[in-house]
Homo-oligomer: A and B are copies of this chain.
Amino acid sequence: MPVTAYAPASVANLCCGFDVLGLAVDAPGDEVTVSFNEEGIVRVVEIKGDDGRLPYELHKNTAGVAVESLWKAVKAEKGIDIAIHKKMPFGSGLGSSAASAVAGVVAANELLGCRLKKHELISYAIDGETVASGSRHGDNIVPSLLGGIVLVRGEEGIELPVPNDLHVTVIHPHVEILTKVARDILPQKVPMKDAIYQSANLGTFVVALYQQDLKLLGESMVDKLAEPYRSTIMPAYGQVQAAANQAGAFAFGISGAGPSMFAFADKAEKATAIGSSMKKALELEEIGSTVYTSKVNKEGAKIIS
């Protein structure tokens, strides 16, 4: 019987958590279906929703590499066919490649009857995402897999408390920013005082989550390491930020390497209003966009059939 898993999009960085924080949202996300084959190999047999942009070649496909990595580790006899259903944009800063890799390993874990716990799947999923990102990094993988708000240290994730009344609005402007460009714009060295300020903010962010203090959370969400540089290449960054703030956002930032941006609100209605407001700001610049609104997804990746 084929097994299908869903893995949600994730917002990495979260301002003060550049390269170390991420959270999962409800949607968008990717679906991956796996089934046994008699060829004794892992292969990608179908890709939908990608406009022909994703490779079928196993070692270039994030889900393919992730599934094969798990498959090799457990020394399975039967091969696996992988069908990928992309339901989210790539190059969006929403962890698209991570979602495919995560959905792949979660589905394969079920199909193979491995019964590995979710956190035991992290390194296989990272094997997959490394194909797309070029470095082993879990700030999208871990939240997509485990759900919630996660502090990522290397390949380990520490799950942080999620405030009940936290609502996330994500906007994906329909423009492309290459991750390489977003990376190359960052300096190799940063002022000592910025490093100190960033660490104090991240510490405060963690306190705010444990205290369920959204005011303090908002105060902590200032990014000194990436935003000053990356905001210059984001579409209409200042306008979108102002629109979010005017509509009641208590935090705003770049999602991952962009171009998506996110905002936090303390009520569902505000999150919706923030989405509309940000969308209008982009329309004024003649940039189309897609808005997603949800609470933090605490469940992470899951088997859906």
> B-contacting residues of A (Cβ < 8 Å)?
16-21, 151-153, 158, 160, 186-192, 194-196, 198-207, 210, 216, 225
Q: Which residues of B contact A158 (CB under 8 A)?
A: 203-204, 207, 216
Residue of B nearest to A219 (CB): B153
Give the docked Cα–Cα distance between A255 and B198 (Å): 21
Q: Are A152 and B189 in contact (CB under 8 A)?
A: no
Give the docked Cα–Cα distance between A194 and B199 (Å): 11
Q: Are A192 and B186 in contact (CB under 8 A)?
A: yes
Q: Are B192 and A187 in contact (CB under 8 A)?
A: yes
Q: Are A207 and B206 in contact (CB under 8 A)?
A: yes
Q: Are A18 and B204 in contact (CB under 8 A)?
A: no
4 further contact pairs, Cβ within 8 A, besides A20-B203, A151-B204 = A189-B191, A194-B195, A195-B195, A199-B201
Residue of B nearest to A213 (CB): B158
Residue from B17, B18, B207 within 8 A of A160 (CB atoms) = B207
Residue from B16, B160, B186, B191 within 8 A of A199 (CB atoms) = B16
Give the docked Cα–Cα distance between A195 and B158 (Å): 19
Q: Are B192 and A190 in contact (CB under 8 A)?
A: yes
Report the minimum CB–CB distance from A100 to chain B (whole Å): 25
Q: Which residues of B contact A19 (CB under 8 A)?
A: 196, 200
Give the docked Cα–Cα distance between A17 and B197 (Å): 11
Q: Are A17 and B199 in contact (CB under 8 A)?
A: yes
Q: Which residues of B contact A152 (CB under 8 A)?
A: 200
A and B contact pairs by CB, cutoff 8 A, 29 listed:
A17-B199, A20-B199, A20-B203, A21-B203, A151-B203, A151-B204, A152-B200, A153-B200, A153-B201, A158-B207, A158-B216, A189-B189, A189-B190, A189-B191, A190-B190, A190-B192, A190-B195, A194-B195, A195-B195, A195-B199, A198-B199, A199-B202, A199-B225, A200-B202, A202-B202, A203-B205, A203-B206, A206-B206, A206-B210
Report the minimum CB–CB distance from A243 to chain B (whole Å): 28
Give the docked Cα–Cα distance between A116 and B202 (Å): 30
Give the docked Cα–Cα distance between A225 and B203 (Å): 16
Give the docked Cα–Cα distance between A188 and B198 (Å): 15
Q: Which 6 A-B pairs have the closest CB atoms?
A: A195-B195, A206-B206, A189-B189, A20-B200, A199-B202, A199-B199
Residue from B21, B160, B207 within 8 A of A151 (CB atoms) = B207
Please indicate which of the listed interface residues A198, A199, A204 has the most CB atoms of chain B within 10 Å of its own CB. Answer: A199
Give the docked Cα–Cα distance between A190 and B224 (Å): 13
Give the docked Cα–Cα distance between A102 and B186 (Å): 42
A151-B204, A191-B189, A203-B205 are contacts. A196–B160 as well, Cβ < 8 Å? no
